[in-house]
Structure 1
Amino acid sequence: MDAFFASVELLRYPQLKDLPVVIGGSRFTPQQEAALVQRWGSLAQMPLAAFERLGGYVGRGVITTATYAARQFGVGSAMGLMKAARLCPQAVLLPIDFARYRAYSQRFKEVIVALAPVLEDRGVDEVYIDFTHAEGGQEAGGQALAQRLQAAIFAATGLTCSIGVAPNKLLAKMASEFNKPRGIAIVWPHDLQEKIWPLPCRKINGIGPKAN
């Protein structure tokens, strides 16, 4: 899913679309929601001036995720909020609402299973799907089914996703990052030398500063 937590929050706060938004720090509670609705009528009607800004944050919290507009400033997941505040102080800071994210996670996975029943759950915002025998899974190298999945997920949830199709899970995971957001990338065996081999090692899932 594309910037999953942040995208779910933008459904609740459409006035924040295209703005730098960071999710992290405290948790969002039903009491907070009730208070905000009582004050503004609905969360969608909250004025921009009413949102907390990242520049005023003090603490040891970390970013869970950020919108693509925030990522343009170098802000990213697992970064300390105070460091992010130096990079993008104007970003809106929203609390985490795991119950809401889990609900949307279940919804998008139900959509996938209806079209491609063989699914491996890899967390709240990511799955592996076996296209082998699914309807449309072999058309244009999987392009047809990937497009149907994107359209169905968006229709059911209002959320976008990026899909990588490849001969194995490692390559599919890498391909899913090629054209974000709302992208589809097909990697054929003959594409390895051109599309995969030139990539830095850190692009391989599981390899990074702690394992290299």
Structure 2
Amino acid sequence: MTASSNPARWVLHLDMDAFYASAEQLTRPTVRDRPVLVGGLGPRSVVAGASYQARVFGARSAMPMGQARRLCPHAVVLPPRFVLYQALSEQVMGVLAAAAPVLEPISLDEAFLEPPALAGADVAQVEAFGVELRAAVRAATGLPASVGAGSGKQLAKIASELAKPDGLRVVAPTDERSVLDPLPVRALWGVGPVAEANLLKFGIQTIGELAAMELREATTVLGVAMGTELHRLARGVDDRPVAPRGAAKQVSAETTFDIDLTAMSAVHEAVARMTQAAHRRLVSAGRAARTVSVKVRSADFTTASRSETAAVASTDLGALTAVAKRLATAAVPAGGVRLIGVSLAGLTDDPPQALFETYRPVDTAEPEPEQPEPGQPEPAAGEQPVVGHTMSGQAAAASEPTWRPGDDVRHAEHGHGWVQGAGHGRVTVRFETRSTGPGRARTLAADDPALSRGDPLASLG
């Protein structure tokens, strides 16, 4: 029986749109309509989130920050605030839990649900439910969300992607083939670069072409387990239940090479790619890792593994990659390497505040002047260079607080705000929260006794 012959089942997938960047735009109204990149400015920093205004220029999540800034040089770059994202995620999941007794969160910003109220419902009823669900999420959080619905989890996830941004897509049972068939095979759950490459060798580019294969052919190309599962999904057969997920114990990535690697430089390049792929999943789940493990399989199928555990969990891509490369050097056998895998384990739900390395060159510019009132011409937020305090041999500078762009602050008189720039013993703060609308920027002494570290959650006020 195919999923399309069972119209009584409706699975929904809700995905928050550009979640990290949208959260920043929500709580910092000055950048609400501007391109926003969430991440650090260090040489190894990657983009944790990109607003749709930044995506227009080609910037996207998991891209090196340097590349994203070259594509979108006028973007506002802000450091991640996971405590804020976690709080908003809990609000979203609360809305979804009220709509369905069983919820399957995938990450901070997406989840599956199968509302009992929709059992046997028609398309119009599912659409009405989706409209109400999206409205409830926006009312609770102020953020946009896309919702997809179909007869199984695969269709629901594909539908939510088709609905982006800020939309709703319900795939009726009679429309499943017309939706699935033209999509690239990479759109299927479980099809990564290796599986895609294997299918392309046999001329299989679309889901429809995979569905038209004989099961025997699919398992020959992809292996019995993967071939059987992907062939079912391509045909719309997806009876996997919506069920609560236990916390993942590790995130990993691996690849098998068409030609064995023989140079250590090539091994290190592959390890860096695998670490970045695993790191992307780590960041998406809002977690940090203590243990890095590397698996290397030689040309004669001998497998060697090495691991290293740190005292403190980290999300620093540069640090994790350095460990993985060191472990790979010790694990590589004589002869060629046919497979490399990197896994990050010892996961914690409490990432450190310094999620990404931040670039702070010595300040060579004059302090940013106080900005005019909102509504009058002013420099856009985020366009000032990121600067730190110059020491210049002055003992006073060493005792000043260190402020970085994006820091949350609290001022006894002006309330909650965030740092736009700092240098020469001065700090420019934009005083605003979610409810204030675009706020005024003021330049203060970096050691102003009325200025203190702020709680990111206060920006929700």
What TM-score do you get using the length of structure 2 for normalisation?
0.38
The question of 1:16 aligning with 2:31 is answered yes
Based on CA coordinates, which of the two structures has the bigger radius of gyration?
2
Distance 2:24 2:149 in 1: 28
Q: Aligned partners of 1:62, 1:210: CA distance in 2, in Å?
A: 24
- Tell me the distance in 2 between the aligned counterparts of 1:98 and 1:105: 10
In the alignment, does 2:170 pair up with 1:186?
yes
What is the 5 A alignment of 1:1-212?
1-25=16-40, 57-131=41-115, 133-134=116-117, 138-139=121-122, 140=124, 142-212=126-196
Check conservation: 1:108, 1:157, Cα contact below 8 A: yes
SS at match of 1:177: helix
Which is richer in helix?
A: 1
What are structure 2's unaligned runs of at least 5 residues? 1-15, 197-461
The farther-off stretch of 152-161 and 138-147 is: 138-147
- Any runs of at least 4 consecutive aligned residues in structure 1 with deviations exceeding 6 A, and if so which? none
Inter-partner Cα distance in structure 2 for 1:136 and 1:15: 44
| SS across alignment from 2:117 | coil
1:55-75 CA distance string (max 9 Å, x none): xx4511001110001001111
Structure 1: unaligned runs, 5 residues or longer = 26-56
> What's the secondary structure of 2:78's corresponding residue?
strand
CA deviation after TM superposition for structure 1 residue 190, in Å: 1.7
Query: How many residues end up aligned between the 2 structures?
Result: 180
CA contact (8 A) 1:116 1:135 kept: no
CA contact (8 A) 1:20 1:90 kept: yes
The verdict on how the C-alpha distance between 1:137 and 1:184 changes in structure 2, with shifts beyond 3 A counting, is: farther
Q: In the aligned structure 1, how far is the partner of 2:157 from the partner of 2:144?
A: 17
Gap change, CA 1:137 and 1:185, over 3 Å in 2: farther
State the partner residue of 1:54. Answer: none
Looking at structure 1, the residues matched to 195 and 88 of structure 2 have their Cα atoms a distance apart, in angstroms, of 32
Give the structure-1-normalised TM-score: 0.80
Calculate percent identity across the aligned residue pairs: 46
**Which structure is higher in RCO with an 8 Å CA cutoff and minimum separation 6?**
1
Q: Report if the CA contact (8 A) 2:57-2:71 is conserved.
A: yes
Residue-by-residue CA offset, 1:134-178 (whole Å, 9 max, x unaligned)? 369825151111111111111111011101100000111111011
**Alpha-carbon distance in 2 for matches of 1:135, 1:170:** 18
Check conservation: 1:160, 1:182, Cα contact below 8 A: yes
| Structure (1/2) with the larger strand percentage | 2
1:85 is paired with a residue whose SS is helix
- RMSD, aligned α-carbons: 1.7
AA aligned opposite 1:9: E
User: In 2, are the aligned partners of 1:137 and 1:144 still within 8 Å (CA)?
Assistant: no
Would you say the 8 A contact 2:25–2:33 is kept in 1?
no
**Which amino acid counterpart does residue 168 of structure 1 have in structure 2?**
G
